Amino acid sequence: MATTIFTAGHYDPEKARMKRQIIAGIICVLVIVGGLAYLFRYWPYEHRVDRFFNALEKQDYQHAYAIWQNDPGWSQHAAQYKGYPYEDFYRDWGPGGDWGPIQSYKVEGATTPKGHSSGVIVVVTVNGRAEPARVWVEKQSKTLHFDPTS
pLDDT per residue of the chain (150 residues) written in tens, 0 to 9: 566 767 777 878 888 999 999 999 999 999 999 999 999 999 999 999 999 999 999 999 999 999 999 999 998 988 899 999 999 999 999 999 888 899 999 999 999 888 767 899 999 999 999 999 999 999 999 999 998 877
Domain that holds residue 83: 43-146
Does 14 fall in a domain?
no
Does 27 fall in a domain?
no
Does 10 fall in a domain?
no
The four Cα atoms 49, 53, 59, 65 give a dihedral, to 10 degrees, of 20
Does 21 fall in a domain?
no
Does 23 fall in a domain?
no
Does 93 fall in a domain?
yes
pTM of the shown model? 0.82
Enumerate residues 6+ apart whose C-beta is below 8 A from 88.
none
Does 28 fall in a domain?
no
User: Torsions phi, psi of 134, nearest 5?
Assistant: -120, 115
Please name the residue ranges forming H helices in the chain: 13-39, 43-57, 61-69, 86-93
- The Cα 41–Cα 20 span in angstroms is 31
Does 34 fall in a domain?
no
Q: Which residues of 7-31 are buried (b: 16+ CB within 10 A; e: fewer)?
A: eeeeeeeeeeeeeeeeeeeeeeeee
Number of domains in the chain: 1
